Amino acid sequence: MRITSLLLLAASLTVPAFSLPTFPLVFTDPLASADPADVIGDPNFFDIASLTFASFNSGTKRFTVEILFNYGGGTSLNEFSVGGAFNALNVGELLFSNGGFNYAVQLRSRGGLTAGNLYQVTGTQTAKQVLGLGSDQDGNYRPNQAVWGNTTSATLIGTGTSTVVSTGGPTNLKVTLDFAANNAFINGFDSSSFAFSAATCGNDVITGNVPESGTWALMGAGLIGLGMIRRRNVV
């Protein structure tokens, strides 16, 4: 009976202990920009080269993410136009999904959301929704690609910064995002999916899943061992 009690106590104290993946995590675009399955439109405006989860600071709970891509609005990340149906294009957002929740990191402030910050959002908006285009205009972009988080009922999870530099041309950019996160986001990070579109047309997109690297630690195992020793001594 005493051993059973100890085992139940050990089980109640057994909790999952997760370790985050090893940083940096680099995701590169597997297709050449000239491949029609990759960039729709001008690669100088839309091509994404890579997205890197560069580091995580466990003390400050801050992630650093670097995105290399081309953007028609230049280092200002301003709205730009390529004519035709795309009268106004904006930069996309870094979107996450984990644990049944959606998150968005702003590259540029919009709709009351601040650049660099991490928000929990109620859902995402597709390219078609953002651009307000009809079903007869689906041919020159990715209409169903999620590009923005919803601003309605967005909840601030962590503050951050968004820094933009040129990497060799007016549209060749590196955006560095440095943002804090809460425990729910951190604990779900190693099973989360992400997506980033260079612009709100979704003409190029990089997606992926953060690899799971956590291990389950039985913190009650020591108590189980003590129970066995105690039983042996009693006998």
Under 8 Å between Cβ of 106 and 115: yes
Residues 8 and 31 in one domain: no
Q: Give this prediction's pTM.
A: 0.83
Give the contacts of 65 (CB within 8 A, at least 6 positions apart): 51, 52, 53, 54, 94, 105, 176, 177, 178, 179
Residues 185 and 143 in one domain: yes
pLDDT of 18 reads 52
pLDDT of 99 reads 85
For the chain, the domain total comes to 2
pLDDT of 232 reads 37
pLDDT of 19 reads 72
Residues 114 and 225 in one domain: no
* 71: containing domain: 26-215
Residues 136 and 235 in one domain: no
pLDDT of 41-52, one tens digit each?
999 999 999 999
CA nearest 177: which of 116, 87, 119?
A: 116
Residues 97 and 200 in one domain: yes
pLDDT of 30 reads 79
Given a cut of 50, the residues of the chain with pLDDT beneath it are 1-17, 215-235
Residues 4 and 97 in one domain: no
Under 8 Å between Cβ of 127 and 85: no
Residues 235 and 192 in one domain: no
CA nearest 195: which of 44, 57, 48, 71?
A: 48
pLDDT of 31 reads 79
Residues 44 and 133 in one domain: yes
